[in-house]
Structure 1
Amino acid sequence: MAAKKQEVENTKKRKRIAGSNTTESAANESHSKKPFKSAKKPFDSVKKPFNSDKKPFKSDKKPFKSDKADAAGKDNRKIAPASGRERRLHAKELADARKMKRKRHFTLEQDLARLWEKMRCREISKEDRTKLVTEALQKMKGKIHEIAGSHISSRVLQTCVKHCSQSERDAVFEELRPQFLALAYNAYAVHLVKKMLDSASKKQLAGFISALHGHIAPLLRHMVGSVVVEHAYELASAAQKQGLLLELYSTEFKLFKDLVTLKESRLLDVMSKLSLQKGSVLRHMASVIQPILEKGIVDHSIIHRVLLEYFSIADQSSVTDIIQQLSSPLLVRMIGTKDGAKIGILCVKYGNAKERKKIIKGLKGHIDKTAYHQYGCLVLVCILSVVDDTKLITKAIIRELQPSLKELVFDKNGRRVFLQLLHPNCSRYFSPEDLASLNSSIPSFSLKSEASSQTVTSEVSLSDKESKDDVEVAVDELNKDQTSADDLDLAESGKKDPFVRRQELLIKSGLAENLLDISIENVGELIRSNFGKEVLYQVATGGSGGILHPTLDDKINSLHEAIASLAAESKSEDSQEEHVFENFHSSRTIRKLILDCPNFASTLWEKALKGKSELWAHGHSGKVISAFLESPDLKVQKLAKNELQPLVDSGILKYLKPKELATK
């Protein structure tokens, strides 16, 4: 062991000695061995000690010399601030110095920013805010148009316009009026212009709109400027709106706009009054619309109105080009307005299968929000009524509506998506205006359809003298060259039978079963609801044409039982909820179910009313009882006649006979 220990120590000593003589050994080796001849010096693998006597590497570049360096030449480099706070303050000073050179009113903007921080506080009193607003306006007087485009100053001005007096607001408006068009293109000043228009008088608004004439089309092609035109269009009167639109129809309208009255609101009427050529109007409108669509500026109602008027006069190929451009996610941004929803409906009705698929895929992720919208839901209704690809609709639309199915049933607009499948185009659920939008058409397509049908009829009538086979050949030859009336009608309604389409969307997709489950689980809440009762009624009757029968008869009977069980509950004065026979909405729903659904009437009578009809013969519930005698079904009348006839004879119960009910 001792020998081994001695050997290890000798080895360590040898290593230390070798390390001290590394430089000498390396020099000897360099003399003994010839190095590889290269233009570059060999790499020195031996690390040099930290405190080496050799001089550091000298760069070719000269060290940075500060402007404040002394002549003695000690250390010319500027010493950075020590702490983080000092560094931030120093950077801010340098930034302010640069901004002061670049911005003319930098000092004024800083003063305004300090005042703005005080005046926008919620805790400040009205008097103090008024003083601060007046002070800020005094500082800006004569310079408002110069600083309105600044990010800070525009926000200060918006707050001042909101809280200042009417005289001060008028002074700001007068100072900005010559510069409104220039400010309309500024990303920050546009908010100030909108604020000024909101608080403008009728005279001021009319002056602003008159200043826009001649600049409407260029402003609409600008992302920021289009916002100003749209805001002015929303605030304008009917005559002013028409004046803004006329400029987009034709250059001649700029000269003859005073000759047009509100009676000629449609473009076709205006063209006929002024005897304008259709071709020139179409070319001008196309030059206005095309750049707007290419830039994707499709959010504004004024653009939607122009597109609708363009559809009314354009030929089929021009309309098809526009539909192709809009068959994308762009359409989602348009259907939020009344005219935009009409355009969406027309794109769905007259687009081909590929374009319809693009529209449906573009709505992905927005289906739920669209269903709740007043106008957007009409586009969904049109898709359900027209598109033949029910698998795509089930996957893209119905499955996205499933998570919020209960909320949609109770919503005024959301329920209409399901009511269209249960009872299509019912005037009870859709207003005349909504039905007109759903039935809207494009004249160029309709005219071609009529012309094609007339041509086919005339060709066939002319060939009466020919044989039957010759007539069929003639018609086939004609259909090869021209689009038939049936094919054009399919562009609006699709090839599939409407009843079959409804079955696939309601039953095969599982939507009807889910609606029945929700109706059974929430029967009390639905039947008392102003909007939910309509869905409950349609589901309980099996839908229009008995579409839910016989597939879902068991669940429909379960729903009848649930309603009857609810009606069988005793009348209690302590209960917070009204009884279903006495509630305004539920009593009328039950009455309609008795008149239209004999199965429900018998279930309700046996479970809830038999032997208790005298108790419910007064008030709203009396209308429910009398419905058994008014029912067109003789079995329902016979079911309750023995018990209800004494009430009628005594004058407690009044009812209309079925014949009187039909004539009423």
Structure 2
Amino acid sequence: MAPTTTKKFNNKSNNNKKRSSPSNEKSINKKAKISVESSSSDEDEDELDQLDDDSASSGSGSASESSSDDDDADELDDIVSSASDVNEDDLDHLDNNEEESNDDEEGEDQDKEDEDGERTEDGEKSTSDNHTEQRKLLKERKMQRKSGIEVQHIKSLWEKLRVNTPPLPKEVREKLSNEIWELSKNCISDLVMKHDASRVVQTLVKYSTKARREQIINSLKGKYYVLATSAYGKYLLVKLLHYGSKNSRQVIINELHGCLRKLMRHREGAYVVEDLYVLYATQEQRQQMVREFWGAEYAAFREKHSGTTIEQVCESSIEKRNIISRNLIGTITASVEKGSTGFQILHAAMKEFVKIADDKEISEMIELLHEQFAELVHTPEGSEVACTLIAKANAKERKLLVRALKDHTEKLIKNEHGNIVFITLLLCVDDTVLIFKSFGPSVKEHLQDFIIDKYGRRPWIYILLGLNGKYFAPNVKKELSKYLAMAELTSKKPTSQKRQELLNKFSPMYLKTISKYYSEILSENLGSQFISEVLINDELYEQLGEKDKAVFVQIIDRIITSFKGDISEESHPIHRPYSTRLLKSLIQGGKWNNKDKKLEPLEKVEGLGVPFAKRFYEDIIDSSNLLEWINTSDSSFTVVALYEALNDKEEGDQLIGDLEEIKGRIDATKDENNKGAQLLLKLLK
């Protein structure tokens, strides 16, 4: 904290300025200390209030109280600066009077205390009285400033304009906006730098017409860099971007052009650049913003380099490649040290850098980022950077990256981009024991949620089936294959071997989770599909020990049991389309090859196919409700699958006999949508 300075007071009974006595200096120091603490607290609250003026008070009464608090906070902000406004001439004047007698000083001090109300009868002054006097004094000073009366008038109008509940009529808002604009248009550049006045302009932007916003944009030309680096002005700049037109955004971008690298190193400016890149810039503007990080040449001659990729520039000249690399790593390093690692525009700059980085630069990048590595994975650019670093890292560096991610397992795997990073770890890291130990405990806790999540299930599908085109889109497969090719230089184990080792470690976890949460998983389409892939998998079954096989049988028992009940009830699981698909695959006991249009039966899994079909019929359907299952459109295809699996089999004698008895009562015309009953009749003929 800066050294406390004494404050000069005017004595009405004596115009001569005297040096304060030691006792009076102590009182003044105490007073200044209280002011600084209050100012610090209020500034924190003001910055929170600044985030959005949409949180305005629900009525004019509460809005007025809020304004009063803001005024008080602003006045307390000024007390610190006013406490240090003693110039050298004043101090010299005080020094010249230092030799006056102590009696005179004590008398004068007492007069000052009595007049200014610094002490009560008991010799102590309350803090509230202290603040009241300070506020009164500062309010008078503010009114004497340039445009002081106009600013107070503007604030009073703003209190009315920002009320949201009840909403003001459009005519009233327009009238208030016009009045505020007429008062503020000549001093708007001064208003936007102060915390409360900046909020006035923000509200004006929000409720103004398009033409008025254009006027505000034009009146602030030349000040957008200052706004971007201002603790209060940056919020107005974001408001202008949010409510502004395409042309007005272009005006702001053009003015900030050439300053982005500098802004990214600024605590306030970095947030403005991030919002501009993520929320408001077009794709072409984004590319130009990123090219600006290459260096001054690409900022100054942006039209010349429009559409140029970083690879093309670096291939043309090694010297240019070194300059671009140096500029990029300089910006990245400074931004990371400033705490901006999670910014998407910084991820875009990192993406450019890793495209041209050599092995040494990749290692330096990992060293720089490994502690904040988890902050990369939530954006498409950051995910690509993270995957590239994992693929090109050596074994020791990959261990650092795994440790950085293991505490973020749930968010990592469920994230649209983060799960690609996790799959890249599974593809590239040779130490599968490290993977299992690092992520296994958290996966065990959340696996029931992962396997019913659109993105969260993909790593576990990969372990089961590899990069199967049924679950991985062509662009995702292409991207993962790219990282796999990068890892060939540093990985020693074949990818298939790593996947088999991971399957061996995670398969018991799959079965225990399904057995415990089978009801919740079966109630979800993705979960039902995942159970089907787990059960109909020779590779997984081959990995199981005796205990795990017992759990496998238990899962089959629970699936069968879950279909007991009256199928006329809407809550019966047979009415879910995905339940019918699950039953069909278990009854068939194999996977349908859509390319060759044939069923590929299982070779090693026990308990599925004919044994499952026989047991399901005996335990769930039998002759008592076979006709009802056939005449219900949601369940008829299940009977067709049973017939196809058990026909001409000894285990199917009971089913075939029961069908012969009731086939005359099958009414396929009752429900035209009952395609299963129609197909069954054709098969029986």
Scaled by the length of structure 1, the TM-score of the pair is: 0.70
CA distance in 1, matches of 2:352, 2:207: 41
C-alpha change, 1:168 and 1:619, in structure 2 (3 Å) is same
Equivalent residue, structure 2, for 1:381? 423
Q: CA deviation at 1:322?
A: 0.9
Pairing partner for 1:237 from 251, 262, 282: 282
Residue segments in structure 2 that go unaligned for 5+ positions in a row: 1-100, 591-607, 669-676
> What is the correspondence of 1:208-227 to structure 2 with a 5 Å cutoff?
208-227=252-271
d(CA) in 1 for partners of 2:149, 2:397: 57
1:634, CA displacement in angstroms? 9.1
1:306-321 equivalences in 2 (<5 Å) = 306-321=349-364
SS at match of 1:552: helix
1:489 counterpart residue number: 491
Tell me the equivalent position of 2:135. Answer: 92
Pairing 1:556–2:552 present: yes
Hey, what's the Cα distance between the residues in 1 that align with 2:234 and 2:581?
A: 53
Determine whether 1:278 maps to 2:274. Answer: no
Between the aligned partners of 1:294 and 1:639, the Cα distance in structure 2 is 75
Larger radius of gyration: 1
In the TM superposition, 1:29-108 aligns within 5 A as: 65=106, 78-80=118-120, 85-94=128-137, 96=139
What's the secondary structure of 1:122's corresponding residue? coil
SS at match of 2:293: helix
Give the match for residue 139 of structure 1.
Answer: 183
Q: Counterpart amino acid of 1:559? A: I
For residues 193-240 of structure 1, give each alpha carbon's deviation from its aligned partner in whole angstroms, at most 9, with x where no partner exists: 111111221222222222232222222222322222222223222222
Corresponding residue for residue 351 of structure 1? 393
- Following superposition, the deviation at residue 391 of structure 1 comes to 5.5
Distance 1:363 1:155 in 2: 40
Aligned to 1:615: 628
- Relative distance call for 1:501 and 1:418 in structure 2 (3 A) is closer
Structure 1 position 337, deviation (Å): 0.4
Deviation at 1:125, TM superposition (A): 2.9
Q: Which of the residues 578, 586, 598 maps onto 1:593?
A: 586
Task: Describe the shift of the 1:347–1:277 C-alpha distance in structure 2 as closer, same or farther (beyond 3 A).
Answer: closer
2:500 alignment counterpart: 499
Query: What is the SS of the residue equivalent to 1:331?
Result: helix
Distance change in 2, residues 1:594/1:260 (3 Å): farther
The answer to whether the 8 Å contact 1:629/1:636 transfers is no
Cα offset, 1:323, TM superposition = 2.0
> Counterpart of 2:356 in structure 1: which amino acid?
I
Residues 581 and 624, structure 1, Cα contact 8 Å, conserved in 2: no
Shift of 1:173: 1.6
* Alignment correspondent of 1:335: 377
Cα deviation for residue 402 of structure 1 reads 4.4
Q: What does 1:378-417 align with in structure 2 at a 5 Å threshold? A: 378-389=420-431, 392-394=434-436, 396-417=438-459
Structure 2 Cα separation of the partners of residues 527 and 400 of structure 1: 22
Paired position in structure 2 for 1:515: 513
Shift of 1:82: 6.5
Find out whether 1:168 has 2:212 as its counterpart. Answer: yes
Indicate whether 1:603 and 2:615 are aligned: yes
Name the count of aligned residue pairs.
544
Matched, 1:625 2:635: no
Could you say if the C-alpha distance between residues 608 and 88 of structure 1 is closer, same or farther in structure 2, counting changes exceeding 3 Å? same
The answer to whether the Cα contact below 8 Å between 1:185 and 1:222 also exists between their aligned partners in 2 is yes
Shift of 1:184: 1.0
Distance change >3 Å, CA 358–CA 489, structure 1 → 2: closer
Please report how far the alpha carbon of residue 591 of structure 1 lies from its aligned counterpart in structure 2 after TM superposition: 2.3
CA contact (8 A) 1:593 1:600 kept: yes
Aligned to 1:546: 541
Q: How does 1:556-595 map to 2 (within 5 A)?
A: 556-572=552-568, 575-577=569-571, 579-595=572-588
- Distance in 2 separating the partners of 1:562 and 1:192: 60
Change (3 A) 1:545 1:176: same
Q: Identity percentage over the alignment?
A: 23
Corresponding position of 1:440 = 482
Measured in 2, the distance between the counterparts of 1:121 and 1:604 equals: 66
Separation (CA, whole Å) in 2 of partners of 1:231 and 1:627: 56
Deviation at 1:64, TM superposition (A): 5.6
Question: Is 1:325 aligned with 2:368?
Answer: yes
Which residue type is aligned with residue 622 of structure 1? S
Q: What do the CA deviations read for 1:237-293 (whole angstroms, capped 9, x no partner)?
A: 22222222222234443465435565x5x4324656899953444344334433333
The root-mean-square deviation of aligned C-alpha atoms, in Å, is 4.2
Tell me which amino acid in the other structure corresponds to 2:310.
L
Q: Residue 66 of structure 2 aligns with which residue?
A: none
1: CA distance, partners of 2:305 / 2:178: 45
* One-letter amino acid of the counterpart of residue 562, structure 2: L
CA deviation vs aligned residue, 1:379-428 (integer Å, no higher than 9, x gap): 23333444455565455433234444444443323333443444443333
**Do the aligned residues in 1 keep the contact of 2:583 with 2:638 (CA within 8 Å)?**
yes
> For 2:656, which of 642, 649, 655 is the aligned residue?
642
Match of 1:531? 526
Aligned mates of 1:109, 1:626 — CA distance in 2: 82
Is the CA contact (8 Å cut-off) linking 1:112 and 1:136 kept in structure 2?
yes
Q: Which residue does the alignment assign to 1:246?
A: 291
Q: Is the CA contact 2:294–2:327 (under 8 Å) kept in the aligned structure 1?
A: yes
Question: Equivalents in 2 of 1:420, 1:61: separation in Å?
Answer: 89
Q: Quick one: which amino acid aligns to residue 679 of structure 2?
A: K
Q: Label 1:199 to 1:90 Cα distance change in 2 as closer, same or farther (>3 A).
A: same
Distance 1:99 1:391 in 2: 69
Deviation at 1:373, TM superposition (A): 2.0
Gaps of 5+ in 1: 1-59, 450-484, 658-664
2:302 is the alignment partner of 1:302: no
Tell me the secondary structure at the aligned position of residue 440 of structure 2.
Answer: helix
Q: Is 1:198 aligned to residue 242 of structure 2?
A: yes
For residues 104 and 506 of structure 2, what CA distance do their matches in structure 1 show? 79
**Is the CA contact (8 Å cut-off) linking 1:336 and 1:376 kept in structure 2?**
yes
Alpha-carbon distance in 1 for matches of 2:239, 2:115: 58
Q: Per the alignment, do residues 120 and 83 of structure 1 end up closer, same or farther by CA in structure 2, a change over 3 Å counting?
A: same
State whether residues 335 and 375 of structure 1, in contact with CA within 8 Å, keep that contact through their aligned partners in structure 2: yes
Deviations for 1:344-393, whole angstroms, at most 9, x for unmatched residues?
22233333344334333333553333333221233233334444555654
Are the equivalent residues in 2 in contact too, given 1:348–1:383 (CA < 8 A)? yes
Q: Note closer, same or farther for the CA distance 1:320–1:590 as it changes in structure 2 (3 Å cut).
A: same
Query: After alignment, is 547-556 or 104-113 more displaced?
Result: 104-113
Distance 1:131 1:402, change over 3 A: farther
**In structure 1, what is the Cα distance between the partners aligned to 2:115 and 2:224?**
57
Aligned residues of 2:573 and 2:579 also touching (Cα < 8 A): yes
Residues 130 and 569 (structure 1), Cα distance of their counterparts in 2 relative to 1, 3 Å cut: same
Q: 1:632 to 1:614 in 2, by over 3 A?
A: closer
Distance, in Å, in 2 between the alignment partners of 1:258 and 1:336 is 32
Shift in Å, 1:148: 1.3
Contact 2:118–2:130 (Cα < 8 Å) also in 1 = no
Whether the 8 Å CA contact 2:532–2:582 is kept in 1: the answer is yes
